Amino acid sequence: MKSILMLILAGAILSTPLCGQYESDVIQTSEGELEMFFVGHGTLMFKFNDLVIHIDPVMR
């Protein structure tokens, strides 16, 4: 259980600097800028104000 939590924490900490390494599209909204990143095959990341959302679809 500890190793899973450490892996999640490490992923969260290390994924934030990746925002600057990928090309992004920026959409201006009334609430601020929405920045979209294409990370890889089907994987997206959205950054809006202080919120970062990672989308990594998985087929089961």
pLDDT at residue 19, rounded to an integer: 53
26 has pLDDT over 90:
yes
**What span, in angstroms and rounded, lies between the C-alpha atoms of 25 and 1?**
37
Backbone phi, psi, residue 22, to 5°: -115, 150
Cα-based distances in Å from 51 to 11, 22, 46 = 16, 17, 8
pLDDT at residue 23, rounded to an integer: 81
Which pair of tokens denotes residue 60? Answer: 């089961």
- Sign of the Cα torsion 33, 20, 23, 45 reads negative
pLDDT at residue 15, rounded to an integer: 64
Segment 19-31 shows an average pLDDT of: 83
Segment 42-50 shows an average pLDDT of: 90
pLDDT at residue 22, rounded to an integer: 74
What's the whole-model pTM score?
0.57
